[in-house]
A = this chain, B = another copy of it.
């Protein structure tokens, strides 16, 4: 039953392919709501502004999910992508730094619906420790290693200031966790077997700035 696990495949799957799988999954939710039983690579591509060939190629790395002349079965493909991404289960998550952005994430119910459950909060502010956020009591950051070690938590969202993010991450690694979503604008140093994804909003604004200044339009006249 492990036919989609990458470790058993010859080819390395690229990061962009995995990111697009997320998009296909999202697109399939839309198609499913519309009540369609099947969907073509062309339709999926249109929803996420990609090419049909890209969609087919990406999916083909993991198997033959479609039917020629018909397309892909919506429910089935969605389940298969969920399985590939590992989102056919619940992930328990801890969040460190219950400030502006941390609070916003805790209040966001959609994550839980998608199987990403924030179940533990940490902070170092005495006014916050012990207080209740959306049913979760904020723990003292001092205890993070012992509270995460051997717990059911496998991912951590880091929402602390950049100046302390590396220290917090060192503790997360010490506790044996291997997946970190980082909002602090710093490059975190972690061992090779720990996965870090960065959310860098300033970088996106800077990209927009560059695009405007350089008039990067696709149909600009020279």
Contacts and interface: CB of A to CB of B under 8 A. Distances in A.
Given A47-B187, A104-B101, A214-B5, A22 B203 contact: yes
Given A155-B208, A203-B19, A207-B197, A185 B26 contact: yes
A153 interface: no
Interface residues of A, number: 66
A185 B46 CA distance: 16
A219 B192 contact: yes
A207 B211 CA distance: 27
A205 B91 contact: yes
Interface of A: 5-7, 15, 18-19, 21-23, 25-26, 47-49, 84-87, 91, 93, 100-101, 103-105, 107-108, 110-111, 114, 116, 154-155, 178-181, 185, 187, 192-193, 195, 197, 199-220, 222
Contacts of A204: 181, 197, 199
Contacts of A7: 214-215, 222
Contacts of A104: 100-101, 103-104
A215 B108 CA distance: 28
A129 to B, nearest CB: 20
B84 A210 contact: yes
A210 B18 contact: yes
A208 B187 contact: no
Contact of A205 (B15, B26, B116, B187): B116
A75 B23 CA distance: 41
B103 A205 contact: no
A104 to B, nearest CB: 4
B207 A219 contact: no
Given A18-B207, A100-B107, A154 B201 contact: no
